[in-house]
Structure 1
Amino acid sequence: MFIPLHDGVPLRFMRAPYVTYALIGLCVGLYLLMTLRQDSDGQIAIAAGFGFIPSVFFGAAQLPPEILQAPSWATLFSNILLHASLAHLAGNMLFLWVFGDNVEDAMGHGRFLVFFFLCGLGGSLAHALMNPASDQPLIGASGAISGVIAAYLMLYPRVRIWGLAFNWIPLHITALYAIAAWILFQLVQGLIDPQGHVGWWAHLGGLGTGAALTPLFIHRGVALFGRTVRR
């Protein structure tokens, strides 16, 4: 497992990645509201009502009417902004902090926001297709952030990233190797444990969506596969 810490790639087209900052702030704010103002039963109810539950989405199950809930189609997106634990939140926000700014820079604020939620949508649908009968709510920005990771890999494969291997070994490694290892880990886990507590197929669905959409969303002056990067 690899945790990114810093890449040092400068912004080219904008002063600051405001959408990345806003998404991080929104996810953190919702997590604080969810945990500080709700007891454990309330937190479970929020996760059930606004998380994405495949069996409810496909009409095979229904939530109790007393649970405040979003329409099933809306949970394809609302689940992206919720997180189950502090570790879940911190890990996702760290990946978004390191990779999101440069992807937003390559796409622009508006396109990046749309890209982020489309990748989350792709992750949610992939999870649903692999687990159509699941009654467990899927929450977290992992699918959307996986799409951002795919875009970063296509944009800056040769950049060297500072990070931690196995959560504690410091490394300064090329993005291609670090992210490729991360993708392989997701794929192996998805095949081994497709119905586990971690939404591995949401990660893989987000990755695939991000890879497919990146060429359509980047600025014309941005080339893929690191051709514009100067080191």
Structure 2
Amino acid sequence: MTIIPLRDNVPTRRYPYVNKVLVAINLLVFLYEVVLGREAGLFIYRWGLVPARLWGAGGGLEMGALWALPGLPPAWLTLVTSMFLHAGWLHVGSNMLYLWIFGDNVEDRLGHLRYLVFYLLGGVGAGLLQSIFSAGASVPTIGASGAVAAVLGAYWLLFPWAKVSTLVPVFFFLTIAEIPAVVFLLLWFLIQLYNGALAITASPTLVGGVAWWAHIGGFVVGLLLVRWWGIRRQPPVWW
């Protein structure tokens, strides 16, 4: 099931500098990957999060040769760098769409600097949880979806009354529906949880190689950080 947000109805009081810069960095890094062409795979192995390398779990002769490359960054650093890498246009496009729609309001509530810290911590927490569930994997985990999931978790707590205009498939047609954020994001989280459970018990081909536990981990980190920092829900503003 695919649910595609188009916009929300929450106005912001501050210009979302940090959120727009994050979107721009992700797009620029992806364009750099496109320019690299065949070398992009090596670039992703170098800067992506490889769980086997993070936890020192070997990885075979081929991976051993890749890990011996000169200038290879420390494994812990890839918890950060991996969140700015993407595997294709759909991957980066969907992540940036969610970040564009929901990130500006979370930045508005947290403030610019704290939002940046929040985003990075969300991505790191998401990467750690995903790497725990795939500790022996030699395939890089990449993408901003873990950090974006943290943004969604914060939005769910801070703006549950918001309405999200959503593109919804109905049989063979697409329709636009306004869904309360608390429902939209809960549905999104349940989809991640279902697929995350499926990824543990079923063949990886059934879940498409998506880092579902990074999504779950990021969402939970977002919830916990908002609670820990004591950010209160903002009452609705009617225009």
Q: TM-score, normalising length from structure 1?
A: 0.91
SS state at 1:171 partner: strand
Confirm or deny that 1:82 pairs with 2:85. Answer: yes
**What is the CA distance between 1:119 and its match in structure 2?**
0.4
Q: Structure 1 residues 143-152 or 164-173, which shifts more? A: 164-173
2:197 — aligned with what?
Answer: 191
Contact 1:46–1:68 (Cα < 8 Å) also in 2: no
List aligned pairs for 1:1-231, cutoff 5 A. 1-12=2-13, 14=14, 16-36=15-35, 38-40=36-38, 42-61=39-58, 62=64, 63-66=66-69, 69-166=72-169, 168-194=174-200, 196=207, 197-217=209-229, 223-224=232-233, 228-231=235-238
Structure 1, unmatched stretches of 5+, are: none
> Within 1, Cα distance between the matches of 2:227 and 2:210?
29
SS in structure 2 opposite 1:94? helix
1:123–1:203: 8 Å Cα contact kept in structure 2?
yes
Letter in 2 for 1:198: V
Deviation at 1:215, TM superposition (A): 2.6
Tell me the CA shift for residue 164 of structure 1. 1.1
Contact preservation (8 Å) 1:77, 1:117 = yes
1:168, distance to aligned residue in structure 2 (A)? 3.6
SS in 2 for 1:78: helix
- Matched residue of 2:5: which SS? strand
C-alpha deviation, 1:121, in angstroms: 0.7
Which segments of structure 1 move beyond 6 Å, counting only runs of 4 or more?
Answer: none
SS in 2 for 1:60: coil
Residue 218 (structure 1) shift: 6.2
Kept in 2: contact 1:20–1:100 (CA 8 A)? yes
Once the two structures are superposed, what CA deviation does each residue of 1:68-123 show, in whole Å capped at 9, x if it has no partner?
53210100110001111000000000000000000000000000000001000110
Q: Which residue of 1 aligns with 2:61?
A: none
Structure 2 unaligned residues grouped into runs of 5+: 59-63
With the length of structure 2 as denominator, give the TM-score of the two structures. Answer: 0.88
Hey, what's the Cα distance between the residues in 1 that align with 2:68 and 2:37?
A: 20
Change (3 A) 1:18 1:218: farther
User: Using the alignment, how far apart are the partners of 1:150 and 1:64 within structure 2?
Assistant: 34
Cα distance change of structure 1 residues 174 and 57 upon mapping to structure 2, 3 Å threshold: same
**How many aligned positions are there?**
222
> Whose helix proportion is higher, 1 or 2?
2
Q: Percent identity?
A: 34
Q: Hey, what's the Cα distance between the residues in 2 that align with 1:107 and 1:70? A: 31
Structure 1 residues 131-155: Cα deviation after superposition (integer angstroms, max 9, x where no partner)? 1111110000000000000000101
User: Is the contact between residue 2 and residue 165 of structure 1 (CA under 8 Å) also seen in structure 2?
Assistant: yes
> 2-side partners of 1:10 and 1:118: how far apart?
25
> Structure 1's 200 and 107: CA in aligned 2 closer, same or farther, altered over 3 A?
same
SS, match of residue 74 in structure 2: coil
